[in-house]
Amino acid sequence: MFITEKNDNYQITHFHEFTEIEHDEDNVTDGLKKGNTRQVNRIQIFKISGNIPDTFFACIHFPSKLFHDEITHLQIVQNYISKIHNATKVSDRLFVVGDFNMDPFDYAMVEPKGFNAHNNRDLVVSDTKFKFGSHNILYYNPSWTLLGDFVNKLDYSKHKRTGGSFYFKKKISRSLYWHLIDQIIMRKSLINEFVSEDLEIIENEFIKTEILREPKKNENKIDHFPLKFSFNFKTK
């Protein structure tokens, strides 16, 4: 363990991480030749403690949708959820944030055997639910509100939104173009401490231009809009 940030009121401690082995058959990229493997860090877990009740957050980077479909992600997510819940002892003060490489409506996000993340806080009131003979933990996913370009009570010409955090154009069915793969989900106990009006995708024309342009060969370029959010944690 190591302390990543500390002040008089709280400290953030690196708590746990999950690194997995990828084989070329699992993720066929230019940097992974046939027959080779590599280690990929998928989850970092942190603990916030001090003058607030112990709170955990997991930073996650899901495998790319370029090499996995929704059903594969649904299988993968069960392992990730198990790692997170075991490390945090199924804390009810837990949020997960990062690049899920899935839209909020994908199987692994909404299914009981996935994150079981709902877009309505009233649906998460029970915190857990029995489904298919097992006890499934529920999450609240406010990120749904970031889908689409609609801005309530504002002039669209002055307040434009892309309606997503990542652009991907494909030539097969369900070409959504703008996808919302950068999200935050949380357990019931954090819902009332989440500052909903602060949730937004930070968009500007420079980043948008970078996202939309074709990359040069072997170039790493900006391809996501950043996600902004905040909590007003209760004190002890």
pLDDT band, very low/low/confident/very high, at 209 (cuts 50, 70, 90): confident
Residue 118: strand pairing partners = 140
**What's the rounded Cα separation, in Å, for the pair 115 and 104?**
10
pLDDT at 28 over 50: no
Mean pLDDT of 195-207: 90
pLDDT at 173: 59
**What's the mean pLDDT when you consider all of the chain?**
85
Q: Choose between 113 and 66: higher pLDDT.
A: 113
CA dist 39 and 58 (Å) reads 19
Which residues, 6 or more positions from 14, have their beta carbon under 8 angstroms from its beta carbon? 1, 2, 3, 4, 44, 45, 46
Tokens of 44: 């970092």
pLDDT tens-place string over residues 117-131: 999 999 898 777 766
Check residue 69 and give its pLDDT.
Answer: 85
Mean pLDDT of the region 181-192: 96
User: What pLDDT, on the 0 to 100 scale, is given for residue 145?
Assistant: 92
| Among 5-9, 38-42, 82-86, 120-124, the least confident range | 5-9
Residue 74: band (very low, low, confident or very high) from pLDDT cuts 50, 70, 90: very high
Q: What is the pLDDT of residue 221?
A: 80
Mean pLDDT confidence for 6-29: 76
- Here the tokens at position 36 are 């080779």
CA distance 183 to 108: 13
Q: Quick one: average pLDDT of 149-164?
A: 68
Q: Is the pLDDT of residue 159 over 90?
A: no
Quick one: pLDDT at residue 130? 66
Share of the chain above pLDDT 90, in %: 50
Gap between the Cα atoms of 127 and 225, Å rounded: 31
